[in-house]
Amino acid sequence: MTHHEDPHQRVQDSFERQGLMRELGARVHHVSKGECIIELPYSDKVTQQQGAFHGGAVGALADIAAGYAALTVAPAGMEVVSVEYKINFLAACQGGVLRASGQVVKPGRRVIVTSAEVTHIAEDGQQTSCAVMQQTVMPVAKTY
């Protein structure tokens, strides 16, 4: 990344091409070098059969936040793709907002290791850690 590129704008431009995140109603909350926070409000689009946030939505949110943290340290002209991730679900959460905080653990030219924590913020402001994730991403050339 050159010193002229704004990490937030780089992430926001890519995020706007994310059909899944747009469909689910997610939004970029914060971006800085090596860090990205994505929020997902509760809706019937993101629930499982018992009314809690679906694990697939939680996993996708963590994947996107950590992946975009990696994008902020990837070379200019590159995107990133997930190679793998491992997630632990810690609590079922309903209502409110999920906030996934992704950060770069170890940058690299071929792979970037990241982590994310997903926190549930209830309507009353109470916060609960609902998932933690470790991820490996790979920089790839843009194809658009």
* Domains, the chain, with CATH or none: 7-141 (3.10.129.10)
pLDDT of residue 54: 97
Give 47-76 pLDDT, tens digit per residue. Answer: 999 999 999 999 999 999 999 999 999 998
Please check the confidence at residue 1 and state whether its pLDDT lies above 90: no
pLDDT of residue 4: 53
49: DSSP letter: T
pLDDT of residue 5: 75
Average pLDDT of the chain is 94
* Cα 6 → chain centroid: 18
Nearest to 14 by CA among 1, 28, 3: 28
Nearest to 21 by CA among 133, 123, 98: 98
Predicted TM-score (pTM) of this structure = 0.93
